[in-house]
Amino acid sequence: MTEIQDLNEWDRQIIEKFRANGGNVGGQLAGAPLLLLTTTGAKSGQQRISPLVYLSQGGRIYVFAGNRGAPTNPGWYHNLVVHPDVTVELGTETFEARAIVVDSAEADRLGSIQVQKIPALAELQAKITRKVPAVLLERKK
């Protein structure tokens, strides 16, 4: 299997566990704030589901395009830039949201808060040589 196939299989298993256990997945993600983000493919138009660790700050939900330390932004980020209407699964709740990329200074501030809450992210963050975008998932009324 290639690395991409391994990641797709890992994501598929996380998605299944998330949905079967009301948002709790256990394993190395036990206790991590996790959501499922459904985006529309920028080129394909197909629905794509990504399990993501999120930050809840001031009643708002943010995700970060860290891409597991890769030198490029993840596919889900490119998708939501083109198609900002997304679906969020949080615990047992599903809702529609608008994805809004926050400015660089705010992304840095939010990223620092996220690393304080989840210290294991510091090691991953140290590998990243690019600015990691932060995205607000604003619930639609």
Among 3-12, 18-27, 83-92, the least confident range: 3-12
CB of 58 within 8 A of CB of 128?
no
Dump pLDDT digits (tens) for 50-99.
999 999 999 999 999 988 888 899 999 999 999 999 999 999 999 999 99
Model confidence, pTM: 0.90
CATH top-level class of 3-139: mainly beta
Confidence of residue 49 (pLDDT cuts 50, 70, 90): very high
pLDDT at 1: 45
Which residue ranges make up each domain of the chain? 3-139
Quick one: average pLDDT of 99-103?
A: 97
Instruction: Report which listed range, 19-28, 45-54, 111-120, is most confident.
Output: 45-54
Contact status, residue 104 vs residue 68, Cβ threshold 8 Å: no
What pLDDT, on a 0 to 100 scale, did the predictor assign at position 8?
A: 86
Q: pLDDT tens digit string along 86-100?
A: 999 999 999 999 999
Say how far apart CA 51 and CA 37 lie, in whole Å. 6
When the pLDDT of each residue in the chain is averaged and rounded to a whole number, the result is 91
| pLDDT on residue 7 | 63
Predicted pLDDT of residue 27 = 83
41 close to 78: Cβ distance less than 8 angstroms? no
125-134 pLDDT tens trace: 777 888 899 9
- Write down the pLDDT at residue 138: 98
User: Other C-beta atoms within 10 Å of 24: how many?
Assistant: 14
